[in-house]
Amino acid sequence: MTARSFILSTIISGFLLIPSVSIAEKLKVYRVPTSKPAKLIIYSRPTIHSHKVKKLPANTRWIVRLAGIKRYSHKNTWLEVSSNGKRGWMPSSLLIFDAKATLIAAKNPKCLRKKTRKKVCEGSI
């Protein structure tokens, strides 16, 4: 691990509160498709029967996967996520991995925060 990558992982891990040892493997940014139905909801626990934390509009970007993954069957996996300061769980089937946003966020952790996300971050996608 080079000094630069150590500093970058320390900055990102401090922001996401994830241990810096494996931040590169854990940081994943997702988006939701434009054509999904209105069930784009972040829940407080990995079940649709829990409290609804936030409803997401179609085409939402910059949904960050946190450490939690719950698998109930081969068809039912939930990811712990954060979107613009709201934290909770979403079914993985509703999320699309965004490789470009993940690379941008790895290089510039400020892109993960809505208040500090600049046109540079948004324009790169």
From 73, 71, 68, select the one nearest 26 (Cα to Cα). 68
Question: Domain residue spans in the chain?
Answer: 3-123
pLDDT digits (tens, 9 = 90+) for 56-114: 888 888 888 887 778 776 677 898 999 888 999 998 888 889 998 888 888 888 887 77
CATH class of 3-123: mainly beta
What is the pTM for the complete model shown? Answer: 0.69
Average pLDDT over the chain, rounded to an integer: 75
Residues facing residue 41 across a β-bridge: 55
d(CA 68, CA 26): 10
Question: Is 50 or 2 the better-scoring residue by pLDDT?
Answer: 50
